[in-house]
Amino acid sequence: MRTAIRCVLAGGVVLLAASAAHAEMSTEELAKLAQNPVGNLISVPFQNNTNFNVGPRDGTQNILNIQPVYPIELNRDWNVITRTILPLIW
């Protein structure tokens, strides 16, 4: 079960539509919007790093970084984009 969860989490980026208009876009339009670092699209990428031989007992360390990107529209010309990193360390 844990291996399956790790594969899903490390496998890619989950994109969520920021508005109803994004739900009606074509795949190509969404791909272009996802490539824009200041675009008006919510994304939640996951990054998993595994380190071996860590600590005095040569253990294994897993670090799962959850990195949500959430744009907040201030007005027509300005967006504030949050880029938080939430590390889960085991």
- Whether 22 maps to a domain, the answer reads no
The rounded distance, in Å, linking the Cα atoms of 68 and 84 is: 6
Find, among 41, 32, 37, 48, the residue nearest to 71 by Cα. 41
Contact 72/18 with Cβ under 8 angstroms?
no
- Whether 71 maps to a domain, the answer reads yes
- Whether 24 maps to a domain, the answer reads no
Type of residue at 66: I
- Whether 55 maps to a domain, the answer reads yes
State which residues form the domain around 56: 2-15+42-89
Report the domain count for the chain. Answer: 1
Q: Tell me the whole-structure pTM to 2 decimals.
A: 0.59
- Whether 25 maps to a domain, the answer reads no
- Whether 64 maps to a domain, the answer reads yes
The rounded distance, in Å, linking the Cα atoms of 89 and 38 is: 29
- Whether 32 maps to a domain, the answer reads no
Find, among 22, 18, 20, 29, the residue nearest to 79 by Cα. 18
| pLDDT tens digit at each of 90 positions of the chain | 344 344 334 333 333 334 445 567 788 888 888 787 777 788 899 999 999 999 999 999 999 999 998 889 899 888 898 889 999 999
- Whether 78 maps to a domain, the answer reads yes
